[in-house]
Structure 1
Amino acid sequence: MVSIVVPAHDEARVIGRLLDGLLDGARPGEFEIVVVPNGCTDATAEVAARYPVRVVETAAASKAAALRAGDAAATRFPRLYVDADVQLGADGARALARALDEPGVLAVAPERDLELAGRPWAVRAYYRVWTRLPEVRRGLFGRGVVGVGAEGHRRLRALPPVIADDLAASQAFAPAERRVVASARVTVHPPRTWGDLLRRRVRAVRGTGELEASDAAQAAGSARTGTRDLLAMARRDPRLVPSLAVFAAVAVIARRRARTAGTGQWERDESSRT
Structure 2
Amino acid sequence: MVSVIIAAHNEAAVLGRTLDTLLADAPGAQVIVVANGCSDDTSGVARSRSGVDVIRVSPGSKPLALNTGDIAADSFPRIFLDADISVPKGTVDRLVTALETPGIMAAGPSRKLNVSGRPWPVASHAAIHSRLPAFRQGLFGRGMIAISEEGRARFEEFPNMVADDLFLDSLFAPHEKILVEESRVVVEAPATTKDLVRRLVRVRRGSTAMRRAGRQGLLPIRPRPSDAWSWIRDVVAKDAKLLPAGVVYAALTAYSGILASHGPVDSMDWGRGESARP
Q: TM-score range by the shorter chain?
A: over 0.9
SS in 2 for 1:112: strand
Aligned to 1:246: 248
Report the Cα offset of residue 48 of structure 1.
0.4
Which segments of 5 or more consecutive residues in structure 2 lack a partner in the other structure? none
Contact in 2 for aligned 1:115/1:190 (Cα 8 Å): yes
Give the TM-score normalised by the residue count of structure 1. 0.93
Whichever residue aligns with residue 255 of structure 2, its letter is I
Contact in 1 for aligned 2:78/2:148 (Cα 8 Å): yes
Runs of 4 or more consecutive aligned structure 1 residues displaced over 6 Å after TM superposition: none
Query: Residues 258 and 97 from structure 1, CA distance in 2 versus in 1: closer, same or farther, beyond 3 angstroms?
Result: same
Whichever residue aligns with residue 277 of structure 2, its letter is R
Whichever residue aligns with residue 43 of structure 1, its letter is D
Which segments of 5 or more consecutive residues in structure 1 lack a partner in the other structure? none
Aligned to 1:23: 23
Report the Cα offset of residue 203 of structure 1.
0.5
1:87 aligns with 2:86: yes
Per-residue CA deviations over 1:77-110 (Å, capped at 9, x if unaligned) read 0110001022113511111111111110011111
What value does the CA root-mean-square deviation take over the aligned residues?
A: 1.7
How many positions carry a matched residue from both structures?
A: 271
Whichever residue aligns with residue 8 of structure 1, its letter is A
The 5-angstrom pairing of residues 49-68 of structure 1 reads: 49-52=47-50, 53-68=52-67
Report the Cα offset of residue 158 of structure 1.
5.2
Distance (Å, rounded) in 2 between the aligned partners of 1:189 and 1:121 = 15
The 5-angstrom pairing of residues 88-167 of structure 1 reads: 88-157=87-156, 160-167=159-166
Report the Cα offset of residue 184 of structure 1.
2.1
Distance (Å, rounded) in 1 between the aligned partners of 2:129 and 2:145 = 19
Query: Residues 153 and 185 from structure 1, CA distance in 2 versus in 1: closer, same or farther, beyond 3 angstroms?
Result: same
SS in 1 for 2:12: coil
Report the Cα offset of residue 229 of structure 1.
4.7
Report the Cα offset of residue 31 of structure 1.
0.9
Paired-residue identity, %: 38
Distance (Å, rounded) in 2 between the aligned partners of 1:238 and 1:127 = 16
Give the TM-score normalised by the residue count of structure 2. 0.92
Distance (Å, rounded) in 2 between the aligned partners of 1:170 and 1:11 = 25
Query: Residues 154 and 139 from structure 1, CA distance in 2 versus in 1: closer, same or farther, beyond 3 angstroms?
Result: same
| Greater shift in the superposed pair: 154-163 or 18-27 | 154-163
Q: 2:274 aligns with which of 259, 264, 270?
A: 270
Report the Cα offset of residue 217 of structure 1.
6.8
